[in-house]
Amino acid sequence: MALGHTRLDVRRQQHASSSCCSAPGVAAFVGLCLVAVWMASSALVTPADFSPFQAPLWRRAAAPAEANAPPAAVREEETAADDQEPPVADRQQAGSTEKAKGADEKQSAAEKPEEKPDEKPKVKKVEAEVFPDAKDAELLNQTATEPGSWRTQAAESNTETNERTNASSSVPAASHSWKLCDVDAGADYIPCLDNVEAIRKLRSDKHYEHRERHCPEEAPTCLVPLPPGYRSPIRWPESRDQIWYSNVPHTKLVEYKGHQNWVNVSGEHLVFPGGGTQFKRGALHYIDFIQEAKKDVAWGKRTRVVLDVGCGVASFGGYLFDRDVLTMSFAPKDEHEAQVQFALERGIPAISAVMGTKRLPFPGGVFDAVHCARCRVPWHIEGGKLLLELNRLLRPGGYFVWSATPVYQKLPEDVEIWEAMSVLTRSMCWNLVNKVKDRVNRVGAAIFQKPMDNRCYDRRSAANPPLCGESDNPDAAWNVSLQSCMHRLPRDPTMRGLRWPEEWPLRVERPPYWLKSSETGVYGKPAPEDFQADYEHWKRVISNSYMEGLGIDWSSVRNVMDMKAVYGGFAAALRNMKVWVMNVVPIDSPDTLPIIYERGLFGLYHDWCESFSTYPRSYDLVHANHLFSKIKKRCQLLGVIVEVDRIVRPEGRLIVRDDMETIREVESIVKSLHWEVRLSYSQENEGLLFVQKTMWRPNTSSS
């Protein structure tokens, strides 16, 4: 099925071609061919009266430019002709075929009878919304809200976000000489986790400081190489069970964990049987075992968003998709080589992170449940500092599922740890709701529940661990040191956390109860109206434009990132697709991440002047809505686009919506990176850029 028919395509379908052997017929045929050639060279491939806002984006790109349109306002380069685009490596070879096909189409069009003046081709008109209409025009930009209405993560965490490098001093992309990164990590390079120079200067690694983020002073502008033999990833859901070995050519986990059904090698594939250290017989049985142990867990209804600590290859989170549960899995980049990279290649959400000396990059009280299956975290030591971090993240009334040897074994060390954990959890007012053994996997699990109110805190005989001070914001998470304290739970019935969210999927549709009409939203409307306008806007854009207009083969898209999520409307509008969306709230943007979690979605905080905590080649589609024009005021845009190049897979896509000056800058950089510009569109000063990464890498390395 063709992605987009030109006017010539439509006519060819409506009228069967016929042959004519007479001399007048030949003359007419030649004349019509010349007309067709003139039409093609003039790019007149849509009716002149066809409004660009009534057609899909692919048709819009081919429409004649208005006389007063800005230069290069509408451009499209090498738009594919079929739903299934050929691999990037094959497109050059396919060029001659496409030219021949175009000639055939012109000939067929020339042979059709002449249309009547009032006759129009039967083209389905789509009410596509590239940019908001007049009533929702404020969605293009965040308005200045009342002081204190929306704090940023930078303000909450007292993080400095001043301009790091003068953006005007950046090297123009056209003159930039691209080179491969010459680093020990090679094709797996994560700049903020592989900063060898900074790690060597650490005074201690007792608390896993060497696994934490240590970003270079300047963002790298070198490119990460591809592993030899890299190929397009296997598509979901098959990817959950197997991936190409050549894409993640690591075997240490096979040696360490193969007997526990983590991962095995089979020919040119790495195969994932769905097991884990605590669920050798498969994740689904283990998931149902937890449900049976505590009915109120209610996977996919009450429990929608889960944090999996020390996730391994993330089979737990991968199989929770079958229960309509979204899992944020994380593990450090350590001797368990490439475990998070395996997860992402399989199409399962994960980030590289460690429980060390800093808070995790999530707001407080947002996860419905937290899971740890032999995650190797010493919860009971140092006053329970690490368990208190989980307490910060866990929603009031949420569950902590701990499956580890101290729960079910009687070795002296295990007994000692269980006793210490029992004392610690009681002092934290966590209630042990069940301790049960799984006889199939021969393991056990303890399920604790966080309190819903402060009554237990108030009647403790000893304030140990202590309550945090009033000035300690539980949502402050960016570069904030861990604290050995607990935050008081909300008392005001209108505050977040006092009530459990509505069951999934109702929670994704409705504004949270604590979003007040008396508060101004990010775009300037009353907050609940702002929320709804954002959601309706993205539903229209995705349904009318992104689904059909860009020619994306959505079966090849699994891992998606929204680089500047606001209310999570973009992710919510994609919820019925077989994709997951990592919602990123920049630290200098309004802190709306709690809203995203409240609606049953997930994400994290990040500073886009630094590299993201993920492996190269992690995402199939990255979306950036009015991000780059803001971020380039603080750091060089070149480094940010290089980071996008790092995290996007070859043949992956980037959609940018921003002002035209920024669109032109981004387009210049990605062209120099040999990305293919699939569409560039503008209306007044607003632009949309849709580009696709290729397999290209430079031949030389940086020193």
pLDDT at 141: 66
pLDDT exceeds 60 at position 8: no
pLDDT at 173: 56
Domain region containing 373 = 274-491
pLDDT exceeds 50 at position 232: yes
Domain boundary among 433, 467, 491: 491
Do residue 543 and residue 455 come from a single domain?
no
CA dist., res. 138 & res. 131, Å (int): 10
Domain boundary among 461, 491, 521: 491
Grade residue 194 by pLDDT with cuts at 50, 70 and 90.
Answer: very high
Do residue 582 and residue 526 come from a single domain?
yes
Do residue 615 and residue 649 come from a single domain?
yes
For the segment 109-137, the average pLDDT, to the nearest whole number, is 47
Do residue 425 and residue 573 come from a single domain?
no
- 486-521 pLDDT per residue, tens: 999 999 989 999 999 999 999 999 999 999 999 999
Grade residue 140 by pLDDT with cuts at 50, 70 and 90.
Answer: low
- 273-297 pLDDT per residue, tens: 876 767 777 899 999 999 999 999 9
Residue 419 falls inside a structural domain: yes
Grade residue 166 by pLDDT with cuts at 50, 70 and 90.
Answer: very low
For the segment 79-102, the average pLDDT, to the nearest whole number, is 38
Grade residue 160 by pLDDT with cuts at 50, 70 and 90.
Answer: low
Residue 215 falls inside a structural domain: no
Domain boundary among 491, 520, 538: 491
pLDDT at 85: 39
For the segment 668-683, the average pLDDT, to the nearest whole number, is 95
**Mapped to the 3 state alphabet, what secondary structure does 216-248 carry?**
CCCCCCCECCCCCCCCCCCCCCHHHCEEEHHHC
Q: 587 versus 119: which is more confidently predicted?
A: 587
pLDDT at 259: 59
Grade residue 120 by pLDDT with cuts at 50, 70 and 90.
Answer: very low
Residue 655 falls inside a structural domain: yes
- 241-252 pLDDT per residue, tens: 999 999 999 887
Residue 323 falls inside a structural domain: yes
Do residue 476 and residue 355 come from a single domain?
yes
For the segment 70-79, the average pLDDT, to the nearest whole number, is 39
Do residue 326 and residue 469 come from a single domain?
yes
Residue 366 falls inside a structural domain: yes
pLDDT exceeds 60 at position 165: no
Do residue 462 and residue 514 come from a single domain?
no
pLDDT at 115: 41
Element (H, E) at 256: helix 252-257
The total number of structural domains that make up the chain: 2
Do residue 581 and residue 617 come from a single domain?
yes
CA dist., res. 552 & res. 695, Å (int): 18
Residue 485 falls inside a structural domain: yes
Do residue 447 and residue 517 come from a single domain?
no
pLDDT at 144: 40
Read off the CATH number of the domain in which 605 is found: 3.40.50.150
pLDDT at 100: 38
Do residue 421 and residue 522 come from a single domain?
no
Total count of residues recorded for the chain: 703
- 568-616 pLDDT per residue, tens: 999 999 999 999 999 999 999 999 999 999 999 999 999 999 999 999 9
Grade residue 14 by pLDDT with cuts at 50, 70 and 90.
Answer: very low
Residue 107 falls inside a structural domain: no
pLDDT exceeds 60 at position 170: no
Element (H, E) at 62: helix 57-62
Q: By C-alpha distance, which of 329, 330, 327, 325 is closest to 303?
A: 325
pLDDT at 10: 32
pLDDT at 334: 74
pLDDT exceeds 70 at position 257: no
Q: 34 versus 249: which is more confidently predicted?
A: 249
pLDDT at 263: 86
Residue 421 CA: distances (Å) to CA of 281, 364, 430, 432: 27, 22, 11, 11
CA dist., res. 150 & res. 623, Å (int): 23
Residue 41 falls inside a structural domain: no
Residue 660 CA: distances (Å) to CA of 79, 130, 681: 21, 14, 9
Structure tokens at 581: 């969306």
Do residue 461 and residue 549 come from a single domain?
no
Average pLDDT, the chain: 82
